[in-house]
Amino acid sequence: MKYAIIKPRWKSVKVKKTESLGPVEFGLERHFQVKSYKYDPLSPKNPLCFGIGPLAGSAIPGTHRLIFVSRSPILGSLIIATMGGAGVALYHTGLDYISLEGGDKKYNVVALKREGDKLEKKFIKLDKERVNEIYFRGEGGFKGISALQHFIFKELKSWYGDSYFRILATGPASMLTNYGSIGSTVIENKKLQWGQEDYAGRGGLGSVMVQAHRTLAIVLGGDFEGDRFERSLRDMKVVNELFEKEFGKKAVEVWMKVTKKYRYDEDMGTGGTFGVNFCKLGPQFLFFNWTSTYIPIKKRRAVFEKLVKGWYWRRFQDEIIKTRSWRTCGEKCPVVCKKVNIIFKKDYEPYAANGPLIGIFNMEDAERIVSKVDEYGFDGVEIGNLLAWVMEARAKGLLTEKELGIDLKVYFDIDEYLKNPLMASHSNMLVADHLLNLIVTGEGIGWFLRRGVRHAADVLERRHKGIKDLALYTPYGKKDYGITPIMYWTPGVFAPLPMLILSKTYYKSDKFDPYEIGKAAAERTLVEIITDNFGICRFHRGWSEKIAPKLVSYVLGKEIDAEEMARELVRKLIEYEELAGMGPQYWESKRVKEVIRNFLVDMQNFVDDPELKRWVYKLGNSFERSMRQFWKEMMRGVKEVLYK
């Protein structure tokens, strides 16, 4: 396997070899080599590693996910972030992995191109004034991350010629905050295909790219089309033989069956994460900074029917599902999971976190906020939780108009909201829009918010007692580091895992014993880390978790023990975490604890379970002591599986 070390300051690209079989394995190897755990996450000595899995270049869809590994300025330890389809561009360079290292005085755009047997490079140097001009004055009618992509595309399209290429770009959030993302838009027919974007968002790795390495974008492409190993899966005849042996069906039949949620589920009459998740969650959907978890189920169900099913979700159905406006992430994939209205891509997580969670149910209002979040290049989940927290604090009078610099009202009372939902949604949108600007300019409390929820909560608690208890995050290390939850009302999203991100936990609602929840979350981590190390999209996990190890064994020509590989990767993650002085801590915020308690109470509406009743009783009699015990039991379950 080949990797390149890029050092922008010296315009250096050195190609080396490694025995690592996947991007997670490579990322861990490189971080231990340079001992990045000794340094701040935003130090130039914290490499940004990324790569493709061993199945990239095959005829199998979902195998070209680009996997990033770096020390997170939000989590404090290593984190994995992924980007759909972008692995195609890295494959065409003939490289397997890249490690971005070292700093610079100026900002850089780094471009790599494979032409025949030669790997060519190009560095574009930009000063801060020019960068700000691109971001804020705009290019080609766009601002932020889209303006940067437009600028780079214009500069480099002739250099790449007819070769496939893609731009991995960042926005102002990566320059100014700890939770910037890396975004990329599909390039097809020599045009940027707006609406076909994907983001490596969680963990703030865009912030590492810009602040640690002074790199605004990395552009990848070329004409490499060869086999990476002696045996290939580029021939569909071979692929079908392997799938028929495992599933008794041809590959396409398997792919279509297990991915119907993301394409179109005929039984539900919808598709994509937005369509299916809102439908399935029903009254368990989250709104108003998770305060919905205090509302009785009958009322939540009425809110869901009126504001989600009858308004927010209905617009998605009318504009996207009925018109079949479905696209891909850039791979040749039958799933067409990207549900797009004109240029607005609708996924559940960003449209939940920057929709109902911040009191927005009108689709136009949500589009404006999500578009601005993307334009600035924020992690959509992190910023949504942060906005919701600040907005609730304002609604409760814990933050003043002067601190926020705006006199608009936040509507977080459901009875008041229902009197005029259109007006309330619009008012909340204007407040959220203002807060995004506040963070970027650094004015008022925006300066504190740049470093994330936990840091801001500690700072603001000194001024406004009780504000920290409204924030939702899982703390890591002794101070500053913490990550906000994904949009599911279950204890698993707050599990004390080595790296708590979107898919590396158990977020179903069918377990109530904290020990069992911890075990399930840890077991999920082992499964998902293999999916990432193989560079596979988790939307394909219905087939990949069963056959991927066999497919990888086939191309490598040797047997792969996926379970042992997963355990070794997790062991390394835990070792790194300990060397960095990080690791999950007991929940600091009262809101997190009450959300978990409320979940257990609410589940009594659906199941008659003695373990559930036991914990509801315990928490009702001795809340703090029992909650600490709940956390310890979850941790015991995690350790039972991961710390062997």
- Averaged confidence pLDDT in the chain: 96
Asked whether residue 571 carries a pLDDT value surpassing 90, the answer given is yes
Report pLDDT digits (tens) over 282-323: 999 999 999 999 999 999 999 999 999 999 999 999 999 999
Task: Give CA–CA dist 280/561, Å, rounded.
Answer: 35
Report pLDDT digits (tens) over 500-520: 555 578 888 899 999 999 999
Whether the Cβ atoms of residue 447 and residue 378 lie closer than 8 Å to each other:
no
- Reported in sequence order, the residue ranges of 320-469 that DSSP labels E, i.e. its strands, are 326-327, 338-341, 344-345
Q: How many alpha carbons fall within 13 Å on the CB side of residue 417? A: 22
Percent with pLDDT over 70 in the chain = 99
Using pLDDT thresholds of 50, 70 and 90, give the confidence band for residue 248: very high
**What pTM was computed for the model?**
0.96
Whether the Cβ atoms of residue 110 and residue 6 lie closer than 8 Å to each other:
yes
The per-residue pLDDT for 499 is: 75
Percent with pLDDT over 90 in the chain = 95
Locate all alpha helices (DSSP H) within 396-540, ordered by sequence. Answer: 401-404, 414-419, 421-441, 446-449, 453-461, 514-533
Asked whether residue 417 carries a pLDDT value surpassing 60, the answer given is yes
Asked whether residue 376 carries a pLDDT value surpassing 70, the answer given is yes
Domains defined for the chain, CATH in brackets: 2-228 (3.60.9.10), 260-487 (1.10.569.10), 508-538+546-644 (no CATH)
Q: How many alpha carbons fall within 13 Å on the CB side of residue 595? A: 30
Phi and psi of 491, rounded to 5°?
-60, -25
Report pLDDT digits (tens) over 461-471: 999 999 999 99
Residues 6+ apart with CB under 8 A from 641: 518, 519, 522, 523, 526
Average confidence (pLDDT) over 625-642: 97
**Distances from the Cα of 244 to the Cαs of 59, 550, 557, in angstroms?**
16, 13, 20
Q: What is the phi-psi region of residue 289: left when phi exceeds 0, alpha when psi lies from -120 to 50, beta otherwise?
A: left
Locate all alpha helices (DSSP H) within 81-204, ordered by sequence. Answer: 87-91, 128-132, 144-160, 172-176
Task: Give CA–CA dist 443/86, Å, rounded.
Answer: 35
Site of tokens 């499964």: 527
Average confidence (pLDDT) over 86-111: 98
